[in-house]
Amino acid sequence: MTPTLSIEELTVGFVQQGETIEAVDGVSLCIAPSECVGVVGESGSGKTQLFMAAMGLLAGNARSSGNIRFEGNELLGAPPAVLNRVRGSRLTMIFQDPMTCLTPHLRIGTQLAEIMVHHRRASWDEARAAAVRMLERVQVSEPRRRMNQFPYELSGGMRQRVMLAMSLLCEPSLLIADEPTTALDVTIQAQIMQLLRAVRGEFGMAMALISHDLAVVAGLADRILVMYAGKIVESAPAQELFRAPRHPYTAELLKCIPRVFGARLARLPSLAGQAPRPGEKLPACAFAPRCPRAADRCRSERPLLMGADRQVACHFPLAP
């Protein structure tokens, strides 16, 4: 079976002042049809740039190498015409801030219908009808009235629903959701996550869910990739990752998430040190400076991502 998205040895760097700053460093991953993969990492871990590369949306000073195959076709370095045929129809993305992703001066209906007209050569009437149906499916109240509204007239949660409707119109085979709920309130976040779950069941597309928050990803992802300093450090089925993390970073990260329920703590668990800054000189294992298990070997020999179903890039992984 051809994977929906397969990325091999992807490296993304940004040229700044004559130096190349690596954001993604030799990442390989695979997303099977209708699989939901969660990608978790802190700011600067390269999780967003990884998928920006797949969408062909990297900044002008970016240099990338490797392979990105979407439904068997190479996307990296593909001409804009090829990318445009795929983007917005087969491969879609929703972002953290839906306000900046909707054109402010066009009505919601026009923006939605335009996608159908563009990708499916639908007539405007058909496209508008399809748009209304789609708004209903993502549980937008009064879809007909919304069609005539402008983005600023909607709340953040409603805008994210509109973005989702927009990305689902052409029935994509992969939806990339980049921090889709980070800008939203916790009750709205719960609604959007519930909606994503429902939509996934209904449309059956594959999903890549990017987040800094393990708990957000927990309810939806089948498999979770943990990124640190541009590399994948652990990949595991979601339940197993939470039950028994193997990479010390994953374990520490899980410990750090404060719990709402259970005993009150006198101090919050925390991870010492700073997340590596882009361009910072790092030892062979980037996590070694903050790792409780680090030894000399971690500073000299780069740990490779090993294993089949559960992969971990660590010389001294925790027991499964």
Partner 1 sequence: MSDPLLQVRNLTVDFGAQRVLSDVNFDLFRAETLGLVGESGSGKSTLARAILRLLRPAQGSVEFSGVNLLSSSARVLRAQRRNLQIVFQDPLASLNPRMRAGDAVAEPLKIFEPQSAPGARRRQVAAMLERVGLSADMAARYPHELSGGQCQRVAIARAMILQPALLICDEAVSSLDVSIQGQIVNLLLDLQAQTGMAMLFISHNLAVVRHLCSRVLVMYCGKLVEIADCDALFAAPLHPYTQALLAAVPRIDGTPGPAVPAAAEHSARAPSGCAFRYRCAFALPVCASQEPPLAQISGGHWAACHRSHETLNPLS
Binding interface with partner 1 (CB under 8 A): 42-43, 141, 153-158, 185-191, 193-194, 197, 212-216, 218-219, 238-239, 242, 252-254, 256-261, 264-272, 274-275, 277
Least distance CB 58 / partner 1 (angstroms): 23
Give the contacts of 13 (CB within 8 A, at least 6 positions apart).
Answer: 20, 21, 22, 23, 62, 63, 64
Q: Are 48 and 54 in contact (CB under 8 A)?
A: no
Least distance CB 89 / partner 1 (angstroms): 29
Q: Are 156 and 188 in contact (CB under 8 A)?
A: yes
What is the phi/psi pair of residue 93, to 5°? -140, 140
Residue 36 or residue 58: which is nearer to partner 1 going by CB? 36
Residue 10 or residue 286: which is nearer to partner 1 going by CB? 286
Please give the structure tokens belonging to residue 220: 């939806």
Residue 114 or residue 252: which is nearer to partner 1 going by CB? 252
Least distance CB 88 / partner 1 (angstroms): 26
For residue 201, the surrounding DSSP H or E stretch is: helix 186-203
Give the contacts of 311 (CB within 8 A, at least 6 positions apart).
Answer: 232, 234, 235, 236, 305
What string of H, E and C letters represents the secondary structure of 85-127? Answer: HHECCCEEEECCCHHHHCCCCCCHHHHHHHHHHHHHCCCHHHH
Least distance CB 257 / partner 1 (angstroms): 6
Helix axes 186-203, 156-168, angle to 10 degrees: 10
Residue 90 or residue 247: which is nearer to partner 1 going by CB? 247
Q: Are 248 and 292 in contact (CB under 8 A)?
A: yes
Pairwise CA distance, residues 244 & 190, whole Å: 26
Residue 65 or residue 194: which is nearer to partner 1 going by CB? 194
**Residue 68 three-state SS:** strand
Residue 122 or residue 162: which is nearer to partner 1 going by CB? 162
Least distance CB 275 / partner 1 (angstroms): 6
Residue 8 or residue 97: which is nearer to partner 1 going by CB? 97
Least distance CB 165 / partner 1 (angstroms): 15
Least distance CB 22 / partner 1 (angstroms): 18
